[in-house]
Amino acid sequence: MSKKTIVVCDHIHQSGLDILSSDPEIEMINAADEPKDKLVEEIIPLADVAITRSSTDVDEKFLKAAQKMTAIVRAGVGVDNVDIPGASKQGIVVMNVPTANTIAAVELTMAHMLSCVRQFPYAHNNLKLDRVWRRQDWYGTELKDKKLGIIGFGNIGSRVGKRAKAFEMDVVTYDPYIDPSKATDLDIEYTKNFDDILSCDIITIHTPKNQETIGMIGKDEIAKMKDGVILINCARGGLYDEEALLEGLKSGKIAMAGIDVFNKEPATDHPLLDLNNVTVTPHLGANTLESQRNIATQAAENAIAAAKGIAYPNALNLPIKENELPDFVRPYLELIQKMGHLSAQIKRSAVKSIKVTAKGPVSDYVESMGTFATVGVLTESLGDQINYVNAEFVAKERGIEITKEVKPNTSGFTNKVAVKLTTQDGTIEIAGTVFDDSVQRIIEIDDYILDVEPKGTMVFFRNTDTPGVIGSVGHIMAENGLNISDFRLGRDSKQQALAVVRVDGQVTKKVLDELSALDACISVSHATL
């Protein structure tokens, strides 16, 4: 198998480089120190996947050079420097790493909030730089019993809410894209009326930057706020209208503001810096050792998954808006893609139809699951040619029928999803679910009840249910130098059994032939996820 090339365009933490360099199927090119002209002209044409940060513009010139590229991983949250429509036209999937710096951003938000209510930076400078001891100048206020308005209740906003509750604050959130129970289950008020946010003592914003949110807090909104409000922005520059923010701070309508991000950066000459009722930091939301390590690790893992066609976590140009999906849906999308890929490897035959079935609340997203399952199935035959952008078009072009079905949930699981693959050699149906903490499991293969983690190299051995089979299978594996890392067995009512054996090492034709030669063997196949 030829190696896939991943080019690291900008500096990332060593932990990510170690992951990339240790994968035997990956050729890593660390081009972080190369001049950008050389990067684009000489190195990017070699890349199957690129990892970028803010220093590399994924523009028309970059994309023109990226003729082999199937995916781009932005190591961080913001993708302002990535031409997503241009990438989509080339069938290049763009991904980011939206959760790696979550805690860093949450804690910085709380730091700004505390700095504003206690005027900490100014008291610090007065003592340390001016050597003045005047306690009476620095009377602050307390967070306790203040009303906090949170705009956007995703990974960061929800965690800010939890910490604010620990400070005994009264918390209300506005986010039209979440289930209200996500807030109310935390004893946090949910509102559909944006004016409820504007009436709060402190307001913090945690939304993506898009046409809906740019300038979301402007002159009119500030006019509705109570006198002496405190505003925090550790999300993206431009969410607050900076001119309106400046005027509000000058007039005293806004008592304090804590700002980590600016519309144009670096912002060393910004007029906000001249005010004495602003706490500022130079876009430090992700600047912790832990978050940089997490960003690099996740970016590397996602790039490898994309290079191998296994999954495209946090893709931004899919037929769905993943950032608007409930958290519980994402692992089901990844699971159903894995099950599609697994079914295609087991059958290894021309595909006639793909049927996706969903039960439970996750069934609301059955259309998206059809796309993910199709990518999983067709990756086996088309490899790099298939992605989320073109999957269903390619399937239709090849005469593959794709159906999606929602069924009543009588399974005993909260949610259950299944892929039924029909090929020239017959059919196979694989079902799975996701348990708490996003633990993915395959729970059925055809009529066999199992509990299989969908990862690694697996051998599928179907046999008549007679004594000694497990021992014989183990003996063959041992004789061929394959260590068994997991062994799962399912039985049916026809005196047959299915073993799913996960092994460390490569399954050769010799192994499959020896397993097939066993008297009890009905069929044998293998797959790798």
> Which candidate, 45, 95, 42, 53, places its Cα nearest to that of 69?
45
Please tell me whether the overall predicted TM-score, pTM, comes out greater than 0.75 for this model.
no
The set of catalytic residues is: 236, 265, 283
- 435 backbone φψ class: left, alpha, beta (φ>0; ψ -120 to 50): beta
Same domain membership, residue 379 and residue 352:
yes
Instruction: Lowest mean pLDDT of 19-23, 202-206, 325-329, 407-411, name the range.
Output: 325-329
Higher pLDDT, 447 or 382: 447
Q: Which helix (H) or strand (E) holds 49?
A: strand 49-52
CATH of the domain at 517: 3.30.70.260
Tens digit of each residue's pLDDT (9 = 90 or more) over 478-494: 999 999 999 999 988 88
Q: Is the pLDDT of residue 385 over 60?
A: no
Same domain membership, residue 239 and residue 123:
yes
Q: Is the pLDDT of residue 430 over 90?
A: yes
- Identify the pLDDT of residue 2: 84
- Which residues have CB under 8 Å from 458's CB, separation 6+? 342, 452, 500, 501, 502, 503, 526, 527, 528, 529
CATH of the domain at 25: 3.40.50.720
- Identify the pLDDT of residue 494: 84
User: What is the chain's mean pLDDT, rounded?
Assistant: 90
Same domain membership, residue 143 and residue 56:
no
The strand pair at 26-30 and 4-8 is best described as parallel
* Gap between the Cα atoms of 394 and 401, Å rounded: 11
Q: Is the pLDDT of residue 384 over 80?
A: no
Supply the range of the domain harboring residue 472. 456-529
Same domain membership, residue 156 and residue 218:
yes
Same domain membership, residue 450 and residue 355:
yes
Same domain membership, residue 470 and residue 449:
no
Same domain membership, residue 130 and residue 266:
yes
> Which candidate, 438, 451, 185, places its Cα nearest to that of 330?
438
Please provide the DSSP assignment of 275-326 as one string.
Answer: -SSEEE-SS-TT-SHHHHHHHHHHHHHHHHHHHTTS--TTBSSSSS-GGGS-
- Identify the pLDDT of residue 383: 64
Find out whether the peptide bond into 266 is cis, omega within 30 degrees of 0: yes
* Gap between the Cα atoms of 92 and 80, Å rounded: 16
The strand pair at 483-491 and 496-504 is best described as antiparallel
State how many domains the chain has. 4
Same domain membership, residue 262 and residue 173:
yes
- Token pair belonging to 2: 């030829």
- Identify the pLDDT of residue 177: 63
Tens digit of each residue's pLDDT (9 = 90 or more) over 328-370: 888 999 999 999 999 999 988 878 899 999 999 999 989 889 9
DSSP 3-state helix, strand, coil percentages of the chain (rounded to 5)?
35, 25, 35
CATH of the domain at 389: 3.30.1330.90
* Last residue of one domain, picked from the residues 270, 302, 317: 317
Q: Taken in order 409, 320, 389, 455, is the CA torsion positive or negative?
A: negative
Q: Are 520 and 463 in contact (CB under 8 A)?
A: yes
- Token pair belonging to 1: 């198998």
Tens digit of each residue's pLDDT (9 = 90 or more) over 209-259: 776 788 999 999 999 999 999 999 999 999 999 999 999 999 999 999 999
The strand pair at 147-151 and 93-96 is best described as unpaired
Same domain membership, residue 246 and residue 113:
yes
Tens digit of each residue's pLDDT (9 = 90 or more) over 295-305: 999 999 999 99
Most confidently modeled of 172-181, 263-272, 307-316?
263-272
Same domain membership, residue 240 and residue 331:
no
* Last residue of one domain, picked from the residues 454, 474, 491: 454
Same domain membership, residue 142 and residue 242:
yes
* Gap between the Cα atoms of 395 and 352, Å rounded: 9
Q: Is the pLDDT of residue 447 over 90?
A: no
Tens digit of each residue's pLDDT (9 = 90 or more) over 73-130: 999 877 878 998 788 778 888 998 878 889 999 999 999 999 999 999 888 888 999 8
Mean pLDDT on 312-326: 66
Same domain membership, residue 195 and residue 173:
yes
What percentage of the chain has pLDDT greater than the value 70? 96
